Amino acid sequence: MTEPVFTPRVFSGIQPSGNLTLGNYLGALKRFANSQNAGVESIFCMVDLHAITVWQEPGKLRRATRELAAGFIASGIDPQKSILFNQSQVPEHTQLAWVFNCVARMGWMKRMTQFKDKAGKNAEQASLGLFGYPALMAADILVYHATHVPVGEDQKQHLELTRDIAIKFNNDYGVDFFPITEPVIEGAATRVMSLRDGTKKMSKSDPSDMSRINLTDDSDTIAKKIRKAKTDPEPLPLDATGLENRPEARNLVNIYAALSDQSVDQVMRDAGGKSFSEFKPMLADLAVDKLSPISTEMGRLMQDVCEIDRILAEGAERARAIATPILQKTYEIAGMVGARV
Ligand code: AQP
């Protein structure tokens, strides 16, 4: 049988579960803008249904969703070129997720490290949604027949599960219907680490605000957080090999490389041998230079939430035009009876 050819299409999402961080920007948003600007059809989603797998206060969720939309646009996503919307406006995501709940196996879900991390010791009290999260994520991607998914390193396991679900669906029904999606995890900042602990991922939900840079932080706050970032007492090594086993130093160098669009080797040519008291101000200046226009633009966009809502509604309509026929075809393959809409 000849392999079906899927048109290249990018999909990725971010949860509106709090302030956007530098990790979200470098691991996701900045790379989303690159894929859009390379001319690939790109679909970006604020995954609000994923966010409620842990408790979200409704008013805060609404604000976070709009602020995230502003973050996407301020980071270079053009809602005319790309499709930008929030997940709950496109019911095909959850409809396909149900089918995938019936394809995925309990054992696969139990192996997901993010569930174990987020549920902690109290897994019995975690929501069923948190457990089933990866099946909804597979549906988010496959309801558009997306071929490429730019994400940070932390999402690698979920993307492998997305591939397993597509393969099992195709095998079970004897079709070549869903593409086997490629994760795109590349660049110096696929895993930005906490500023307080170089072995922990920078995360919006970390209780310590000093652990992360938020896209809404002002210049003084960014500079202060970098100044206070944990480091070891040694100066930077002379080349990148010397960064091994120095997680905090490596993290700051990776951030510098990603913000300045350089390789780690290039950064080390300029910064190798410098003390942190020299390197941190260089990094703070660069971070302020790159991030403050984004935060200013987010503030401006948030002045007009009606316009943000209009953009999201229009994006949802364009998304549904792709998702509806794919869901209908899935139902038909699975043997559901019903008129096509
Ligand atoms: N520290 C990070 N470094 C690189 N990429 C990161 N991403 C998140 N943190 C980093 C990438 O951002 C995208 C959206 O992530 P998400 O909001 O859907 O969920 P998450 O990965 O769970 O992010 P957080 O910040 O840790 O959120 P909370 O605290 O709510 O769980 C993904 O592509 C992710 O890889």
What digits encode the pLDDT tens for the residues 287-327?
Answer: 999 999 999 999 999 999 999 999 999 999 999 999 999 99
Pocket residue to mutate for ligand 1, from 10, 192, 203, 251, most atoms within 8 A of Cβ = 203
Torsion of CA 259, 260, 261, 267, to 10 degrees: -110
Q: Is the pLDDT of residue 3 over 70?
A: no
Give the closest residue (by CA) to ligand 1 atom 29.
Answer: 205
Q: Is the pLDDT of residue 2 over 80?
A: no
Question: What span, in angstroms and rounded, lies between the C-alpha atoms of 144 and 178?
Answer: 9
Question: What span, in angstroms and rounded, lies between the C-alpha atoms of 238 and 242?
Answer: 7
Angle made by CA atoms 4, 149, 134, in degrees to the nearest 5: 95
pLDDT category at 130 given cuts 50, 70, 90 is very high
Q: Is the pLDDT of residue 1 over 60?
A: no
Residue 5: DSSP 8-state: P
Helical H runs in 143-240? Answer: 156-173, 219-227
Q: What is the pLDDT at residue 18?
A: 86
**How many whole angstroms from 333 Cα to the centroid of ligand 1?**
34
By annotation, the residues acting in catalysis are 118, 201, 204
Residue 236: DSSP 8-state: P
| Mean pLDDT of all residues in 220-243 | 93
Q: Is the pLDDT of residue 341 over 60?
A: no
Give the closest residue (by CA) to ligand 1 atom 35.
Answer: 152
Q: Is the pLDDT of residue 340 over 80?
A: no
Q: Is the pLDDT of residue 335 over 80?
A: yes
Ligand 1 atom closest to Cα of 114? 22
Domain 209-300 has CATH 1.10.240.10: yes
Average pLDDT of the residues of the chain: 95
Dig out the tokens for 212 from the structure: 């992360």
pTM for this prediction: 0.94
Fold of 9-189+304-334: Rossmann fold (3.40.50)
Pocket residue to mutate for ligand 1, from 15, 29, 133, 185, most atoms within 8 A of Cβ = 15
- Residues 134-177 pLDDT 10s: 999 999 999 999 999 999 899 999 999 999 999 999 999 999 99
Report the half-sphere exposure of 284 (CA within 13 A, side-chain side): 19
CA 2 to mean position of chain CA atoms: 33
Q: What is the pLDDT at residue 229?
A: 96
| Mean pLDDT of all residues in 167-192 | 95
Q: For the purposes of burial, counting CB atoms within 10 Å of the CB of 243, is it exposed (0-12), middle (13-18) or buried (19 or more)?
A: buried
- Residues 18-50 pLDDT 10s: 889 999 999 999 999 999 999 999 999 999 999
Each domain of the chain, given as residue ranges in start order, spans 9-189+304-334, 209-300
Per-position b or e across 93-121, b if 16+ CB within 10 A of its CB: bebbbebbeebbeeebbeebeebeeebee
